Chain A
Amino acid sequence: MGIWDREHECMPREELEQLQLERLQATIHRVYKNVTCYRNKFNDQGINPDDIQSLTDLANLPFTTKEDLRLNYPYGMFAVPLREVVRIHSSSGTTGKPTVVGYTKNDIKTWSNLVARFMTAAGVTHDDVVQVAFGYGMFTGAFGLHYGAEAIGASVIPMGGGNTEKQIMIMQDYRSSVLVCTPSYAITIADRLEKLGIDPKGLSLKVGLFGGEPWSEPMRSEIESRLSISATDNYGLSEIIGPGVAGECSHKCGMHIFEDAFIPEIIDPETCEVLPPGSTGELVITTLSKEAFPMIRYRTRDITSLVYDTCECGRTIVRMKKTMGRSDDMLIIKGVNVYPSQIEEVLIAIEGCEPHYQLIVERKGALDSLEVQIEVTENIFFDEMKLQRAFLERVERRIESIIGVGVFVRLVEPNSIPRYEGKASRVIDKRLI
């Protein structure tokens, strides 16, 4: 397999660390000058940007959290004036307000090249036809892969999500050789192919790039055998850049983090201490080459560990294991980030609804389903079935409009949902990932 940017992906560590230090110092100076939130945080902790003299000094800087992004909604974290921003994306937020991120012209170029790196590592070349079956719109996934494929010179089909039969028709007729979607949607496609009696070996597919939600090795094997492709994982989040933070090479032994653009750290999510190499903990990322939306020590809330030994592919950069969960209560439902608190707010807002509720997440077939169970009370009990159903539908619509995925709402008997002392565990995730 090729290497898109040999200089930066195969750098000797000493050179890489010099470059990281230079870019880190420049980034710190820029955010201190241009972003009030960072300037205040540094000043509060008595940090002078000049204090950063080595990569280990990074550990003295304050973290950035989703809460910071929320407090600075919408443009407060931007490090350039809005008129230099050529693109705005956003992702779901914890309290109904989304997180807003921006890109300059250069950022889009940087992003395209970062995605091109992991696509190349997965085996995509300019001869490929890439079918992007991620939803376009506010999410970064589809655009990131789209730009990466274009940078490589592949032919991109911006299909968008859903409409499985049409996906299959296009896959057949346009001879798509690369499939980009969530891993669970890949299974949906495999199911449909089976139902339609289409042999995947008769398709032109050879590579799948799957992301947007965590998935397991057994799931990889299933996708690889049922679609007869090589399936690779990649990692990213819109706050950092979108896809393009890390991706697997054909050896599939962890996702290479593009360290000339990002510094990863692993911390203990409770004590916030930086953990020694190899430990499992929360991934924290600092961006090194972003102009519009630099992030200093952003807490991703994803749990993983880093592998520093050299990969057979020749890349010298560190790898991250598949994410093993979250250090907050965020759920990923059909590739969409959902926080229980978003649902709680809807329930509180709907008159009379006490928030005694529970979320049940299941995987039915390949797709996730989310059920919201609410304990019935006088206020929301109706004698008439019709009224009762109308009420439930209203709640479902409200929740869907806030979180962006459909849910089922069901009433359950009073006191049937376990009560917790202290931190409530409102989520039962029955998916085995």
Chain B
Amino acid sequence: MLKVKNINTYYGKVHALKNISLHLGEGEIVALIGANGAGKTTMLNTLSGVTPASSGSINFLGESITGLAPDRIVKNGVSQVPEGRQVFKGLTVADNLELGAYLRFCSRESKDAIRRDMGHIYELFPRLEERRKQMAGTLSGGEQQMLAIGRALMAKPKLLLLDEPSMGLAPLVVQEIFTVIERLRRDEGTTIMLVEQNAKAALKMADRGYVLETGKVILEGPAAELLENREVQRAYLGKDKKEIWER
């Protein structure tokens, strides 16, 4: 579904992504894990066109989306849930959701269809329905995360990019959000790329994973195997400290 080859992305002079190649199959959940500054968020921003790559190719559903503007990429079926939710705090929950469907309004899609999808979001997150007339800024962190996911889903993406959905949330809320992510894949076949600090939780849910280190992929494999990998455990799951090797 998604094929990325040799992506290089710079932030000014900082070479943030170095020759990254990765892929996602239809209906897969793939986790990107790595320490702070490894390039996880940059990877998502590059995929969504927010921080375009300087070289390399991105192919989505058989079409090149390399270098396309973010709105065109959304139209192609890729939505991102940004780090720190970034909901429109001064707007109501319902308005936030409607904005997620902005491009669909622009292309004159029937309002009924959009309303139906909104109903579906409320079904996924009943709490959003309860608070639909409330300003987004008054929601709790968990609710804002739900809203951010809901807003991304309103664009009817085939690929959902999730950036740190668990950040700063209580464990119970994290669980709730992860349950919805799993449901999205199960019931709707949404393909998901998940960036997480919480590597263990992410790998438990994912099918496969990529481990990033200073802008490079150093490991690819089934999530269960990455969980078992001592290097991953040490670096990202906080087990064992690295010592000089004894030969």
Contacts and interface: CB of A to CB of B under 8 A. Distances in A.
A81 B245 contact: yes
A289 B5 CA distance: 19
A29 B228 contact: no
B246 A81 contact: yes
A329 interface: no
A23 interface: yes
Interface string A106-139: 1001100000000000000000000000000000
A104 interface: yes
B83 interface: no
B245 A26 contact: no
Nearest to A84: B230
Contacts of B228: 105-106
B229 A291 contact: yes
A49 B219 CA distance: 14
A316 B229 CA distance: 29
A22 interface: yes
Interface in B18-38: 18-19, 21-23
A26 B19 contact: no
B22 A22 contact: yes
Contacts of B231: 80, 84
Nearest to A7: B25
Contact of A26 (B3, B218, B225): B218
Given A80-B231, A105-B228, A106-B225, A26 B247 contact: no
Contacts of A89: none
Which residue, B19, B22, B23, has most C-beta atoms of chain A within 10 A? B19
Interface in B113-136: none
A82 B247 contact: yes
Contacts, number: 66
A105 B210 CA distance: 19
A417 B64 CA distance: 69
Interface in A1-44: 15, 18-19, 21-23, 25-26, 29-30, 33
Contact of B217 (A25, A33, A54, A83): A25
A33 B216 CA distance: 12
Contacts of A104: 229-230
A105 B211 CA distance: 18
B21 A21 contact: yes
B19 A25 contact: yes
B219 A26 contact: yes
B39 to A, nearest CB: 13
B6 interface: yes
B153 to A, nearest CB: 28
A21 B245 contact: no
Contacts of B22: 22
A22 B23 contact: yes
A351 interface: no
B220 A21 contact: no
A22 B21 CA distance: 5
Say what secondary structure dominates the interface of chain A.
helix
B221 interface: yes
A21 B5 contact: yes
Interface string A71-102: 00001100011111000000000000000000
Interface in B233-247: 243, 245-247
Question: How many B residues touch the partner, as a band?
Answer: 20 to 34
Contacts of B219: 26, 30
A50 B230 contact: no
A216 interface: no
A279 interface: no
Contact of B23 (A19, A30, A106, A109): A19
A416 interface: no
A18 B3 contact: yes
Nearest to A79: B231
Given A53-B6, A84-B230, A106-B228, A18 B21 contact: yes
A33 B231 CA distance: 12
Interface in B204-218: 210-211, 213, 216-218
A52 B216 CA distance: 12
A176 to B, nearest CB: 33
B209 to A, nearest CB: 11
Given A53-B6, A104-B230, A23 B245 contact: no
Nearest to B18: A50
A49 B221 CA distance: 20
B218 A33 contact: yes
A51 B78 CA distance: 30
A49 B218 CA distance: 11
Contacts of B230: 80-81, 84, 104
A76 B6 CA distance: 30
Contacts of B210: 22, 26
B134 to A, nearest CB: 44
A289 B221 contact: yes
B217 A53 contact: no
A5 to B, nearest CB: 11
Contact of A18 (B23, B225, B245): B23
Contact of A29 (B216, B225, B229, B243): B216
Contacts of A50: 18-19, 216
Given A33-B218, A50-B19, A80-B230, A18 B5 contact: yes
A109 B225 contact: yes
27 contacts: A18-B3, A18-B23, A19-B23, A22-B22, A22-B220, A23-B220, A25-B21, A25-B216, A25-B217, A26-B217, A26-B218, A29-B217, A50-B19, A50-B216, A52-B19, A53-B6, A53-B19, A54-B6, A80-B231, A81-B230, A82-B245, A83-B246, A84-B231, A104-B229, A104-B230, A105-B228, A291-B229
Given A29-B217, A30-B218, 18 more contacts: A19-B23, A21-B21, A22-B22, A25-B19, A25-B216, A26-B211, A50-B216, A52-B19, A53-B5, A80-B230, A80-B231, A81-B245, A83-B246, A84-B230, A104-B229, A105-B228, A109-B225, A289-B221
